[in-house]
Structure 1
Amino acid sequence: MRRKEFSIEEQQEIELFLAEMTFGFLGTLSEDGWPHITPLNFVYHEGDIYFHGSKIGDKMKQMKHDTRVTFSVAKEFALIPSYFTDPTYACPATAFFKSVLLKGTAHLVDDPSLKARVFTAFMQKLQPEGGYEPFNLEDPGYLRQINGVAMVRIQVESMSAKFKFGQNASESKRDQIVAGLSERQALYDEETIEMMKKYCPHHR
């Protein structure tokens, strides 16, 4: 069960995170009952998850066998060492992160116009600088490539999120963590401090 102080229920917050991230993990169930995880690029478009790939392979067989799937996305912001708050014991060591878990059903997308719109969304996300001709179904080259790959839509049925940034820590512990992050200055430490201020209502 997810601790309630870490739960993020605001849909807009979750959707902004999904729009930011480019990589997630698809969960399927094989015919022999073993769960299977596939890492892949995705786009969150008009309320659903889309991905594309080969028309054959394990994940396609598994989704044909059972359309129920999960999809998870996570971003680790900072490892919080124990000595930020405790000079002796290892127990306070933790990590601050954002994560989203979705459950839904997988459906093949056959409509070329929808595939073109989703591929456009993919390119806007993964290659925002441009450098390519827009998708055009009247272009035989594009039409051949669009028809040659499988696109899957995960129709989202439930969504939950956990954004952990010290919400359960005392004010003094959060101050110590902020001081440690400020001194360390690792890649996402400044952003982590901003997230702590945002999600810890008594820490500004």
Structure 2
Amino acid sequence: MLIHPWDAPRDDTEWQHWLTTHDFGQLAVNGPPGEPPFVQPLHFFYDPERGEAITHLARPNPLLPALAADPQVVLSVVDDYAFIPGPWQADPEGPPEHGVPTSFYAAVQLRCTAHLVDDPAELAALLNRQVGHFQPEGDSSTVAAGEAPYGRLLSGIRAVRLEVTGVRAKFKYAGKRAAGVQDRIAAGLVERDGPRDAAAREHLVRRRAQG
């Protein structure tokens, strides 16, 4: 992923905060020799204090033997994307039809070392951390090995603890454009009001204010 200086995160806090609310991505795992990578869409819980992401997979999932063979993986998350028409990007002194269309998006790629977890007690603890992120306290039963309602189901899954070893993050929101062009794009996003336009505009405005 190409990251220009104007699209780079201001600091680690920017992408870490974004991941707390963007917790569905794709786990890319090296396939067997001569085969393409395996890619698995999944929910995950990112824990910035421990520098890891937590998820789990059903035992029949072909990613599991691939992870055992090569634990070096990438967890990729992309969202808050919007198509930006060319006229919105046109230089102030040029004709609108000379503007170049582009895509806005936020993306974080976590390079990780995957650790497979089978011990029932440790597996239950990791599941409780993941479920606790998605369901507030009191909205779900605690997972405990050998205890109802979920204990008997633990044998059907394996937890995956993704130890983060590198990060590539990008917030592509007109960072190199002149203020007047940014204003035009922001106004266009408000007027169009597409599914992710409000989020894209928020990034543009926030990053412009940060300088």
In the alignment, structure 1 residue 179 sits paired with structure 2 residue 158:
no
SS at match of 1:200: helix
Q: Aligned Cα RMSD in Å?
A: 2.3
Structure 2 Cα separation of the partners of residues 19 and 150 of structure 1: 23
1:129 shift after superposition: 8.0
Structure 2 Cα separation of the partners of residues 141 and 29 of structure 1: 35
Letter in 1 for 2:111: K
Question: 61, 65, 69: which one pairs with 1:65?
Answer: 69
TM-score (norm 2): 0.83
1:50 shift after superposition: 1.7
Q: Deviations over 1:109-164 (max 9, x none)?
A: 13434322332232233334854322234624422222331111111111120011
Structure 2 Cα separation of the partners of residues 19 and 50 of structure 1: 13
Structure 1 Cα separation of the partners of residues 193 and 89 of structure 2: 17
Structure 2 Cα separation of the partners of residues 62 and 124 of structure 1: 28
Runs of 4+ that moved beyond 4 A: none
Letter in 2 for 1:17: W
Structure 1 Cα separation of the partners of residues 60 and 113 of structure 2: 18
1:165 matched residue in structure 2: 173
Deviates more, 1:11-20 or 1:156-165: 11-20
Cα gap change, 1:193 to 1:57, in 2 (>3 Å):
closer
In the alignment, structure 1 residue 154 sits paired with structure 2 residue 148:
no
* Residues 80 and 199 in structure 2, CA contact (< 8 A), matched pair in contact too: no
Deviates more, 1:174-183 or 1:122-131: 122-131
Q: Deviations over 1:47-106 (max 9, x none)?
A: 2122211223321121122111111111133221112234314x5212221110111211
* Residues 21 and 73 in structure 1, CA contact (< 8 A), matched pair in contact too: yes
1:25 matched residue in structure 2: 26
Structure 1 Cα separation of the partners of residues 8 and 43 of structure 2: 25
SS at match of 2:141: coil
Match runs of 1:101-120 below 5 Å: 101-120=109-128
SS at match of 1:97: strand
Letter in 2 for 1:43: F
Structure 2 Cα separation of the partners of residues 130 and 95 of structure 1: 41
Deviates more, 1:114-123 or 1:66-75: 114-123
In the alignment, structure 1 residue 82 sits paired with structure 2 residue 73:
no
SS at match of 1:73: strand
TM-score (norm 1): 0.86
Cα gap change, 1:159 to 1:202, in 2 (>3 Å):
closer
Question: 123, 133, 149: which one pairs with 1:125?
Answer: 133
1:192 shift after superposition: 2.6
Structure 2 Cα separation of the partners of residues 199 and 9 of structure 1: 8
SS at match of 1:195: helix
Identity %: 28
In the alignment, structure 1 residue 12 sits paired with structure 2 residue 20:
no
Structure 2 Cα separation of the partners of residues 150 and 68 of structure 1: 17
Give the number of equivalent residue pairs.
202
1:201 shift after superposition: 4.3
Cα gap change, 1:193 to 1:31, in 2 (>3 Å):
closer
* Residues 58 and 158 in structure 2, CA contact (< 8 A), matched pair in contact too: yes
Cα gap change, 1:136 to 1:36, in 2 (>3 Å):
closer
1:51 matched residue in structure 2: 55
Cα gap change, 1:188 to 1:130, in 2 (>3 Å):
farther
1:191 matched residue in structure 2: 199
